Structure 1
C-alpha cells in the first residue's frame, strides 16, 4: 500500500474515543508539528527500565546505556540471558502520534537467548505503565511493532505485529494469534533501518517501512495471552487501548538506536482534513 492511502481509512474512524496526549510538540510556521526527541542523544533520564526478574527502575547489568550518542542495548554483564526480557519505557504516555525509530542490529546474541530472539527487538505501543509491571512479568501488556533482521540468506519480514496481552481487529475480525507477519522485504546486515508507526488512538495503527504501509490493523485492545506473571488488575480483557507508553525492547540481541522521535497528532484529531495533511507531511520527511 502506498502512503496516499494511509489516512483514508484512519480519518473515517476518528469518531472513536481517544485520550489527549499529556505533552504537545511545538509546530513550525505551517502548523506542522516538530518532532519530540524521545531519545536526546545524551541519557535515558526520561525513560524507565523494567527487566524481568528485576524491580522497576533497575537497569540490570547496564543493559540500556548511552554511548557515542547512541542508545545501546548490551549484554556484556550477563552470564546467561535467562529470559530476562527488558523494556525501556518513555515516561510520557501518548495517544495519537507518528513514531519514528532508526535502529541497527549489531554483534552477537547473548548466551542463552532463544533462537527466535536472534536479531529481534521491538517498539511496544500503547503499553501499560511500567510502574504497574510485576517483578517476574515478561512483557508489558502492549502492541508490539516487532523489529527483525535477516541472516543474509533467508526471507524474514520486518515490522511485524505481536500481541502480549492484547488483540486487534484485522479484516473486520478479532485477531487472536500472537503474531502476524507484515508484507515487508527482509532487512539483512547491520545497516540502519527506519521504522515508522502511525498510531491513532484506539482506531488504527499502521507499520511503515520505506514509505509504504507493510501492516495495518484496528481497535487495539487488551485480551488474549502471551504475557505472564502480570497483575490481574492491569488486564481488563476487551478494554480498548487509546493511549499508553512506548517501550524499546531488549530480547537478547544487541541493538543500537540513533533516533527515537515522535510527532504528536493529538491537537489535530478533531479535524480530519488537517490530520490527513499533517500525517502526509510527517511521513514525507
Structure 2
C-alpha cells in the first residue's frame, strides 16, 4: 500500500516547450488552514528534482517563496538546472496554477565529500519519546494528523509564553522511513511561533522557507522510521512578520537539517 505522503508528492511528467515540467495535485490529507501545507509543497519540489534524469547528487539547500496561496487541485512545477559544476548543481523553479505563478525558488544539489567535520550546535535535552505523551492539533489543520507529535516544551496547550521555543519528537503517521522529501516536509512542521507567544491561533502563513540538508543518505537510512527531535524558535516579531529558526536532530545526536523561514501574521489584538 502506498503511504499517504508518497501519494501527496506524486507528479506526472509534462511536455513543456521550455524546460522540464511536472504536474502535481494537492492532497486533502495535507490541507492547511488555507490551501495545502507548505511543507508538502516543498517536499514535492525536492522529490521532483531528485527524480530529474540529469540530477547531480543529493539535496543540499532549498528556498521556496510562496508568492500566492495554492488552491486545491493541480499545479505545475517547472525546473531549470542553471549550472552544473563538478560537485554541485544549481536549480531554479516556478510553480504555476491557473495561469498564475504561485511560488518560486532555488535549490542546490551536490556530491558530498569526505572532509573534516564538526557540529557546533547542541541537541536539546529531551526525555525518550515513549515518556512524552502524543498530542493532536485541531481538525482544521489536516496535515498535522500525518505526524506523531510529542512536545517536550512549547506546546500550544501551555498558553501564551515569553519564550517562542518548541521542542518535540516528530515522525510520520503511519510510520515511514525518513528520506529527503520527508525531511523537507518536517522542517515546516513547526506551528508559527506567534501562536505560542500569544497563546492562540491567528492568521499566519509562511512567505519564504529555506532548508539546509546536512544529513547524508546513509544517515537517513540509519534513522529509519524512528522519531526525530525537532526544535524551533523565533528571533523578532513585529510589523506583521517574524522569522523562525529550526533544527531537526536524528539518532546519535546527528543534526539532519536546519531551517529558517519568514512568516506573515495578523495580530488579533490590533
TM surpasses 0.5? no
* Structure possessing the higher relative contact order (Cα contacts under 8 Å, 6 or more residues apart): 1
TM-score when scaled to structure 2? 0.26
User: Which one has a larger percent helix, Structure 1 or Structure 2?
Assistant: 2
The structure with the largest strand share of the pair is 2
